[in-house]
Amino acid sequence: MLMSGEYQNYLCTKCKSIQSIKVDSKNHPVEELVCPECNSKELFKWNPKKGKCPKCQGEMELDPDMVIMAD
């Protein structure tokens, strides 16, 4: 399935999950930021290149087999 629009990664500081949230053309979330896992409103932008794994604090690894294609 192909989703339209841009998504950004957000970190929930309560349950330490990463959520992809749809944003508008100004990079603002299109709806209220609420974690679907725990209903917390404590979500902050997360960059996997700068951050560590939020659950174990380990280094993030690139998955060389991942391919994203769209038409």
Model pLDDT for residues 36-54, shown as the tens digit of each residue: 999 999 999 988 777 678 8
- CA 39 to chain CA centroid, nearest Å: 15
> 51 near 18, Cβ under 8 Å?
no
pLDDT given at position 4: 62
Instruction: Give the closest residue to 13 by CA, choosing from 50, 52, 55, 56.
Output: 55
Q: Which residues pair with 11 in a beta bridge?
A: 18, 44
CATH architecture of 6-45: Single Sheet (2.20)
pTM above 0.85, yes or no: no
Residue-wise pLDDT for 3-47, tens only, equals 567 888 899 999 999 998 888 888 888 888 999 999 999 999 988
* d(C-alpha 36, C-alpha 6), whole Å: 18
Instruction: Give the closest residue to 33 by CA, choosing from 53, 49, 47, 17.
Output: 17
